[in-house]
Amino acid sequence: MLDRLQIIKQKFDEVSDLIIQPDVIADQKRYVALNKEYKDLKALVEKREEYLNVSGNLTEAQEIIADGSDPEMVEMAKMQLDEAKERLPQLEEEIKFMLIPKDPEDAKNVMVEVRAGTGGDEASIFAGDLFRMYTKYCESKGWRTSVVDISEGTSGGFKEVIFEVTGEDVYGTLKFEAGVHRVQRVPQTETQGRIHTSAATVMVLPEAEEFDVQIDMNDVRIDLFCSSGPGGQSVNTTKSAVRMTHIPTGLVAQCQDEKSQHKNKDKALQVLRSRLYEMELAKKQEEDAAKRNSQVSSGDRSAKIRTYNYPQGRVTDHRIGLTLYDLDGVMNGNIQKLIDELQLVNNTEKLKETEIY
């Protein structure tokens, strides 16, 4: 492990030199990528320093105890030895997890699509609740959210809402939210007080760059139509909304959020590119998950992943068997505990796979 950490230290020193070079600073894309690498490597280098310090303390304490000439020093050395023996295994575990190769997709921004499933009006209301939950969570992380397309439900909420999330390690954090979310509660429209089960589907698409997916615009049909919903005087008067159909795959993307047709075209193309990219990625994820029988694969879109039970105030993630009795907190965006546990299970699987143990 120390050999690997030494290689990382050398790489860190190289990156530290590079990010202060004028030509690198001038190349914004390269500078941003190197800055991210610098931060990731810095965390490992700091952990390496701590590991070397604790190892040094352990050796020093053993030498003082072996010498035994100063009883007071021996007592202090015994305490130092106990602390070092307790901390070293913890550090080793922390370093093992940090050494797991990162998925290159994890740093990407995302398009999140929330769609009402079974349950009629109640499913649309629940889709709206999930949208609110995610936007509040993103806000707490300092990420920026921007609505791309929206289709409102008849009794509130949304039949479908697509929004973009930009920030640091967004896909790596949100990717396990993809799947079917179920809600069990008494609907607002129910007069008998009976509990209904409704569902909404969440898709998390890593945002594709132009060099990730090449789209031949000859394969794309573009339709223009009038925006619907809130938006002032331009709504239903100008054909600013854009729908794009990728003829070879049948994938459709649309955007009507912006008043400018040009901006809507750009956003719709971004969604289309991300959907094409995600289609290929989903195949790869399913193959990877099948190889290691992953509990938390983000490849299966139809899997029921989580239930939100209102009468009992609980949220259960079925993939890892985790139940939290904090439904109000979760619906207000406090989902970090769920995400942490899912990432831990995923990293543990990867750790076994890479045989770092």
Assign 90 to helix, strand or coil: helix
Question: 264: part of which helix (H) or strand (E)?
Answer: helix 261-292
Tell me the C-alpha distance between 106 and 111, whole Å.
13
Q: What angle is formed at CA 22 by the lines to CA 18 and CA 23, rounded to 5 degrees?
A: 80
Question: 49: part of which helix (H) or strand (E)?
Answer: helix 28-67
Tell me the C-alpha distance between 281 and 273, whole Å.
12
Whether the pLDDT of residue 328 is over 60: the answer is yes
Whether the pLDDT of residue 300 is over 70: the answer is no
pLDDT in tens, 15-52: 999 999 999 889 887 888 888 888 889 988 999 999 99
What pLDDT score was predicted for residue 162? 93
Band the pLDDT of 90: cuts 50, 70, 90. very high
The least confident of 20-24, 71-75, 301-305 is 301-305
Q: If we measure between CA atoms, which residue out of 294, 281, 233 comes closest to residue 106?
A: 281
Residue 177 or residue 155, greater confidence: 177
Mean pLDDT of the chain: 86
Whether the pLDDT of residue 236 is over 70: the answer is no
Whether the pLDDT of residue 330 is over 90: the answer is yes
Whether the pLDDT of residue 265 is over 90: the answer is no
Q: Can you say how many angstroms the Cα of residue 328 is from the centroid of all Cα atoms in its chain?
A: 22
Q: What is the mean pLDDT of residues 230-246?
A: 66
Tell me the C-alpha distance between 114 and 201, whole Å.
6
Side-chain-side CA neighbours of 20 within 13 Å: the count stands at 4
What pLDDT score was predicted for residue 294? 60
Tell me the C-alpha distance between 206 and 275, whole Å.
8
Q: What is the mean pLDDT of residues 328-357?
A: 85
Tell me the C-alpha distance between 180 and 162, whole Å.
16
Assign 60 to helix, strand or coil: helix
